[in-house]
Structure 1
Amino acid sequence: MSKLFSFGFWNSVARLILRNRLIIIFIILGITVALATQWKNMRFSYTEANLLPDDHPINQVYYDFLDKFGEEGNLIVIAVKDSSLFTPEKFEAWTRLNDSLDTFPEVDYVLSLSNLQTLEKFNDPNRFEMVPFVEGENPDREQLQDYEDELFNRLPFYENLVYSSKSNTVQSALYINKEIVNSEDRKTFVLEELTPLLEKYNKEYDLDIRVSGMPYIRTLNSQNIIDEISMFLLAALLVTSLIFFFFFRSIRATVISMITVCIGVMWAFGVIGLLHYEITILTAIIPPLIIVIGIPNCIFLINKYQQEIKKHGNQAKSLQRVITKVGNATLMTNVTTASGFATFILTDSTLLSEFGIVASINIIALFLLCLLVIPIIYSYMSLPREKHLKHLNKRWIGGFVGWMEDMVRNRRITIYIVSVILLATSIIGIYNIKISGSLLEDMPQEAEFFQDIKFFEEEFDGIMPLEIYIDTQRKQGVMKLSTLKRMEELESIIAEVPELSQPLSVVRLVKYSKQAYYNGNPKYYQLPSSQEQNFIMPYIKGMSSTDNLLSSYVDSTGQYARITTFMKDIGTEKMENIEEDLWPQINKLFPEDRYNVSLTGKALIFQKGTNYLVKNLVLSLSLAIFLIAILMAWMFRSFRMILISLVPNLLPLLVTAGMMGFLGVPIKPSTILVFSIAFGISVDDTIHFLAKYRQELKANNWKIKKSVYAALKETGVSMFYTSIVLFFGFSVFMISSFGGTVALGGLVSATLLFAMLANLLLLPSLLLSLERSIANKEILKEPAIKIIDTSEDDDEITREENNNKY
């Protein structure tokens, strides 16, 4: 009954497609145009990826912090390390540059040498006032040397804020308008205004200006993603088309395949726009991914069409058999691939969920495109020539299949020994895998902006903000001397951590106030005593709040404070060790019954998000395995066959994980995709092999050996073709400048290559070794659905075809 249903259903589908060719073409064009209108809704992400769910406690703290203090990552820094900066010509050029930057509407404020102010004490009335550090215009060489000496030796308040304590490096801080930090206006400012201006001054005055800060880094990183989308698309099309042409030696077949996958890419962009998703480093790889995954569909369909043409030369019969015989197989393989991606939907991470939704939808859409477009285009074309069919008889392919058969027939023990060695070695490697939650690790390390990041790490101990968020639980609690002393002690602890920079907080201003009270003597740069506080307080009250450079470090009620430090590009393990060391000291300094203290900031959020994803990796991969096992159970109705089919697909995943451990490739948001993607794709080969194996069992009266070798010969060529296309297709990602994308491409390629060998060597070996357990009709009874129609249906199909010519 299921056989008749399968044949009847797919034969009806074939008639429907071939009888309504023009209508289907117009429908596809209509959908393509409709989705193309949605491209305008595509937007590139201008924020760092938040991998945690919105309701996660760590995110809740972060949102509360932003509510009190606003956007934290709005600082761009430019620096010059030049011993001749304090000479008239260079100093004047640096001053003009900073004055120019201050005129941009996107910049709220520029803290630089040109507008630097120092705190001075005045009497009658008693007050502090901020006065210009540089007096007058065009200071001479002698004045500039005095300014240099005062800056580096008498103004500890500006240490690591305006100058580096390690060298003569001077920096300016651009505070970007918080309204545009996460918008496209930031990109326009950075790329079209800031960068050209800095390049002009670099060229004219040989200043060697370095630039960094999260808004700048994010902008250039986003632009790299945009640039790489087109590069990936062209590279994927070029590589897959060349391989396709090498196999088929047919320009016509190659062009038809490229047209099909290009429509799939257009649909992918349309779906992203339709759903109003942002293009992130993950969704950016979906269009080239569509090309890589779509080509194997084209290979199966075109290869079958050419086989049928070679067999009987009847185009109508060939096209109908392409749909009826390959349709079900490609449907199942695409469903399993889509399932691998769909498991990401169930994670609570918005980034991964959106990736899973778009990828799984477009893989199924791509299957429908291939099934419709390829037979329809071929139906309007003449029959393939003899030269186009020569690839079906290539000797080297026959030699490869012969080698596989020889290995399975005579060297099964060798296959098992190699498999066990690989498994044991991989387990050792898995124990060496590390987790990385670095915001910067995947960025292009050869890029100029990445070199600038290293410069600022060396001079200023980092550029990624880490925030200590303090709730004193009472209004004006921050300015109490006891609280300030606790904050100062915590800052001293932070300053001793090599990976963290000198902290910034309101403590600096209070210490600077005491120094100013004692006429600027740097030895008094310290917190006042309670008695001194009484003397100094009248002077502080006279200050305007707008003059307070660190007013953003205390909220308007005086209840909440922040301590900002900047972190070097360190991995998750180091960050966790730092946290582990800090928390006991934080809890000791700030008793929980009187203070609420939290660590937050973009760098910490990203690191915590990575850990969260790793925990979900096991869940998503287990779910993928479970879903595919359900599909296998539904198709084969055999528990033992499920176990046998999973072994050759799980071993490559373990081998890849072991490689990651030995090669030092960490688990991170980019590489975390490898396992679910590879498993979803590699299981396709298993489905094809076992489907053909079951057919051969029935045709050969349940003789295991004969059936295994026949299935190996029949499916080996197609599996080799598709695996090679997938291998080189995913290898395209290795040309990326992003480390994570390179790792993703290399690891998926390696996994799929291992999976091909496992399915062509280990799977048939297992079937032969366990023949007594599985060689009966009860274990391999009629499946719920028919994967590939058997030859016994040919007469029935032929009768239908003769009655139903398109």
Structure 2
Amino acid sequence: MFRKSTAYLLLVFAILLSVLLSIFRPIPQFNYDFETFFPQEDQDLYFYQSFKNQFENDNDYLLVALGSPDGELLSADFLAEASSVHTEIQKLEKVDTVISILNLEQPVIGVFGLSTRKVLDWTDKSSLQKTSENLDQYRSRLISKDGKSLLLWIKNEQNISKSDGDILYNSIKDIFSQHKIVPMAIAGKIQTQGDFVKLMQDEFGLFFGCSIVLMLFLLVLIFRSWWAVIIPLFVLIIGVAWAFGLLIYLGKPLDVMSVMQPTIFMIVGLSALIHFFTHLIKKLKEGDDKHKAIRAVFKGLVVPVWLTILTTSLGFVSLYFTTIPALQDFGWSTGLGVLVMFFAVILVAPGLLFLLPITISTSLQKSEKPSVLLAVFSWQLKHRKWIGFSFLGITLLCLALGSTLKINGYLLDNLPTDHPIQQDFEYFNEQYGGSNPLEIYLSVGSGANSLLDYEVLGEIDKIEAKIQELFGEGQIISPLTVVKTINQAQNQGDPQAFELPSKGQRQRMDRWLGKALESKGPKVLTDDKKSGRLSARAPDLGSLKMTALREELNEFVKQEVNPDLLQVRWTGTAYLIDKGHKSVTLQMAKGLGVAFLLVGIIVGFLFRSWRISFLLLIPNFIPLIWMLGLMYVLGIEFKLTTAILFTVAFGIAVDDSIHFMSRLKQELKLGKNLIYGLKRTYLETGKAIVLTTIVLTAGFGLLIFSQFGVTHFTGLLISASLIFALLADLMLLPLLLLPLKKIWEKKFKN
């Protein structure tokens, strides 16, 4: 396969493929949908989908806090300008409803029937002064706690697409610009997705460019020869182009996790090239003919390199067996891209090596000094027990520390705490009771006919009071809200009457309930009035605390709420995302279990021995435990985006072990004893392992500078795990093999 003529044919095929890709360029689509982090095949997800059909999405809204430029919120001029903004936004095509203190009308029921009056009237000074005295009821709801801003709650079209959401958000920003009003804070789905995608586009291009520069620097540093720099760099660029071209043609949009894929593809491809080129340079230094050396190197290494690429790919693909769509997409797409990189190496590199003149520089032909690796190998043979106990002690310590790690994730934990999006969300958390949707499904028990029955309303009132105690004083909307509003209307708009009415008052308001339920606003009841929703907003307290608070409310309901009158169930997007984080242990176990199984099968097939499969897993399992200890030291919590890194790290780290064992197998087949075979493997393959570890660590280390949490932690933790794996492969693996000396020599003896 690697004869000169065959290599040229493969190179021509690669060139034609690249030309076709440049002519029929795929158009990338960027997308960020946090609903892809929902656990699939889950009863709570199915329930939420049914809930949406009955009511609506709980996250199709935009929160906008408007403050007066001169600091006086309740000035007639500012309120008039803000009202114009409100009216213009309401007219936008994709806007369903806009609610604010500016258009809110208080119903009043008198002797002449139902009438309404503006909650805030600024037509003259007297009206403004009179109505502004009764606004405390709306603090933390439509007016900020500190009284410096008012809220626009903009409900957009349900299930709005990314492109329509961008258009709508830009239209809203244009209205603000025209009226020269700068919002104090904005938070919502259409804003967050747009800003996330923009940041993704910026980082995607940045890391792709930085990856090329880094690869160029590493190639110059390692090989110091123009052909050993130009050829790999060309191969890597071609491979990345093919990988993304294929993924885009398959309809895979680029999302938040795609930011790190160019770096992953390049460093995996470069690690493969380093193995080929290191051995090629060695043969050329020994005086071998160029053509024979190229053919011998690629023929001898293609299988072990293929196996290492395959195990890396399977490490990513194993994420497909989790239940989180975002992880599944990242897993299969990255795994496929890694395989494409291998084929780029095989199709392009041999042909270019045959085609271009190759020379070995004088500096590379000089006699080498005694290897540092030789000294290390000799030292570790003399200190076997000390090394073994050290690994055991560190591993047990990391296991103990890792067992104390908490599972905790935030809705926006992919962004740094000082990012503008985070700051805007924090503003709403502090001033308006929260920015995250909080949804509870309500249904009547067997002892009631309707959620509007007086006894049922009393049970809802208990729950609302408990929610405000647990989650803060943000606005709550439920069937009880409608009843409270009518009760206030029956008492001439008195704010103190916004409460659960007496039983007699409740009976007198039946004639008004129908009209109230038909008014615009969030739907809180089904037509048969047997099901409803309790909707609120809460701060993003993290999945750990939110889970504890939800359990506390569940316990309260169990003890204090009559199940024959009212049944409740948690639902909503925030609940599902928190549940996804909570399932992190299961997701990690699934990914690692599949990765262990697949790698064990591959290694067992390669070496025809279950003992070797088991031994090979030990030095690659230890770095994962050490990662737990590092997470404890750095204060990194478990969440979906950090748990998956264990599977990815295992798939990448096991490559070095396979290279080591493949070379040892060749040495033993030549009739050498185990000690000598380990020495030769340690000196030659060990050098390539060190170089590939440097390359991989530097490449993943580049990701540490990302603003996205998932990308940052990927760079940090995988870089550390690769260093841990290098120590385990070079310091521990040889010692694990020595006790089996007779078995090894007998097995591989000719």
TM (norm. structure 1) is 0.87
Change in Cα spacing, 1:251 to 1:167, as seen in structure 2 (3 Å) is farther
Residue aligned with 1:569, SS: coil
1:308-323 matches, within 5 Å, as: 308-312=283-287, 314-323=289-298
Equivalent in the alignment of 2:325: 350
Q: One-letter code of the match for 1:743?
A: F
> Per-residue deviation at 1:723?
0.3
The alignment status of 1:59 with 2:48, answered yes or no, reads no
Q: Does 1:177 align with 2:157?
A: yes
Contact map agreement 1:437 1:608 (CA 8 A) in 2? no
Q: Which amino acid aligns with 1:29?
A: S
Secondary structure of 2:256's counterpart equals coil
Would the alpha carbon gap of residues 393 and 411 (structure 1) be closer, same or farther in structure 2, given more than 3 Å must change? farther
Alpha-carbon offset, residue 322 of structure 1: 2.7
Is residue 117 of structure 2 the alignment partner of residue 131 of structure 1? yes
Aligned partner of 1:670: which letter? T
Match of 1:144 among 118, 124, 128: 128
Q: Give the one of 33, 40, 43 matched to 2:27.
A: 40
**Displacement, 1:30?**
5.9
Maintained 8 Å contact 1:726/1:752: yes
Q: Is the 8 A contact 2:304 2:659 kept in 1?
A: yes
Structure 1 residues 522 and 252, CA, compared in 2 at 3 Å: closer, same or farther? Answer: same
Distance in 2 between residues matched to 1:338 and 1:185, nearest whole Å: 36
Pick the aligned partner of 1:382 from 357, 365, 368: 357
Superposed, which structure 2 residues align to 1:461-480 within 5 Å? Answer: 461-472=433-444, 477-480=450-453
Q: 1:626 to 1:449 in 2, by over 3 A?
A: same
Distance in 1 (alpha carbons) for counterparts of 2:283 and 2:242 = 31
3-state DSSP class of the match of 1:553?
Answer: coil
- CA distance change for structure 1 residues 684 and 95 in 2, over 3 Å: closer, same or farther? same
Q: Kindly provide the amino acid, as one letter, of the partner of residue 106 in structure 2.
A: T
How far off is 1:418 after superposition? 2.3
Name the structure 1 match of 2:96: 108
- Determine if the alignment matches structure 1 residue 776 to structure 2 residue 745: yes
> Which residue in the other structure is 1:85 paired with?
73
Pair 1:20 & 2:9 matched: yes
- Maintained 8 Å contact 2:2/2:350: no
Q: What is the aligned partner in structure 2 of residue 193 from structure 1?
A: 171
Q: CA deviation at 1:684?
A: 1.1
Counterpart amino acid of residue 392 in structure 2:
V
**Cα deviations by residue, 1:117-171 (Å, 9 ceiling, x for unpaired):** 22222443x22x443334475x44x54343332222xxx2x44331234655421
- Structure 1 partner of 2:234: 259
What residue is the counterpart of 2:491 in the other structure? 518
2:709: which partner in 1?
739
Superposition map of 1:194-593 within 5 A:
194-195=172-173, 197-198=175-176, 204=180, 209-312=184-287, 314-386=289-361, 389=364, 399-472=371-444, 477-498=450-471, 501-541=474-514, 543=515, 547-550=519-522, 552-588=523-559, 591-592=562-563
Residues 673, 745 of structure 2: 8 Å contact kept: no
Q: Distance in 2 between matches of 1:292 and 1:44?
A: 25
Greater shift in the superposed pair: 711-720 or 655-664: 655-664
2:395, 2:622 within 8 Å by CA — same for their partners in 1? Answer: yes
Residue 752 (structure 1) aligned with residue 722 (structure 2): yes
**SS of the residue aligned with 2:37?**
coil
Structure 2: runs of 5+ lacking an equivalent? none
Match of 1:99 in 2: 87
Which of 43, 51, 68 is the aligned partner of 2:54? Answer: 68
Gap regions ≥5 residues in structure 1 = 1-11, 783-806
The answer as to 2:658 corresponding to 1:693 is no
* CA distance 1:534–1:572, shift in 2 (3 Å): closer
Give the counterpart letter for 2:688 in structure 1: S
Alignment match, 1:641: 612
Question: 1:796: which partner in 2?
Answer: none
- Structure 1 distance, partners of 2:436, 2:749, is 61
8 Å CA contact 2:73–2:148 kept in 1: the answer is: no
The question of whether the paired residues in 1 share the 8 Å contact of 2:120 and 2:131 is answered with yes
Code of the aligned partner of 2:609 = S
**1:515 offset after TM fit, Å?**
1.4
- Partner of residue 703 from structure 1, selected from 659, 666, 673: 673
Q: How far is the alpha carbon of 1:428 from its aligned partner? A: 1.7
Structure 1 residue 453: Cα displacement: 1.0
Q: Which residue of 2 aligns with 1:765?
A: 735
Matches within 5 A, 1:787-798: none
Identity %: 23
Counterpart Cα distance in 1 of 2:482 and 2:119: 16
Give the structure 1 partner of residue 695 of structure 2: 725
CA distance in 1, matches of 2:215, 2:368: 20
Could you say which residue in structure 2 is the equivalent of 1:802? Answer: none
Q: Which amino acid aligns with 1:254?
A: V
1:618, CA displacement in angstroms?
1.2
8 A contact 2:142–2:150 mirrored in 1: yes
Q: More deviation in 283-292 or 90-99?
A: 90-99
Q: Which segment drifts farther, 253-262 or 730-739?
A: 253-262
Distance 1:384 1:199 in 2: 64
Partner Cα distance (1:689, 1:499) in 2: 58
SS state at 1:528 partner: coil
2:625 maps to: 654
Q: Match for 2:746: what amino acid?
A: K
Residues 494 and 502, structure 1, Cα contact 8 Å, conserved in 2: no
How far is 1:339 from its partner?
1.7
User: How far does residue 62 in structure 1 lie from its aligned partner after superposition?
Assistant: 0.5
SS at match of 2:549: helix
- 1:302 Cα deviation (Å)? 2.3
**2:411 is matched by which residue type in structure 1?**
L
CA pair 459-363 structure 1, distance change in 2 beyond 3 A: same
Judged with a 3 Å threshold, the aligned counterparts in structure 2 of structure 1 residues 233 and 281 are, in CA distance, closer, same or farther, namely same
Return closer, same or farther for 1:766/1:68 CA change in 2, 3 Å cut-off: same
Contact 2:305 2:659 in 1 (8 A): no
Q: Distance in 2 between matches of 1:372 and 1:393?
A: 34
Going from structure 1 to structure 2, the CA distance change for 1:133 and 1:591 (only over 3 Å counts) comes to closer
The structural deviation recorded for 1:491 is 0.4
1:713 counterpart (678, 683, 701): 683
* Cα separation, 2, equivalents of 1:287 and 1:145: 61
Larger deviation, residues 654-663 vs 243-252: 243-252
Does the residue aligned with 1:113 lie in a helix, a strand or coil?
Answer: coil
Amino acid at match of 2:133: D
Amino acid paired to 1:453: F
> What does residue 120 of structure 1 align with?
108
Q: 1:544 to 1:562 in 2, by over 3 A?
A: closer
Counterpart of 1:797 in structure 2 is: none
| CA distance in structure 1 between the aligned counterparts of 2:624 and 2:406, rounded to whole angstroms | 17
Residue 108 of structure 1: how far off its partner (Å): 2.0
Aligned partners of 1:268 and 1:287 also within 8 Å: no
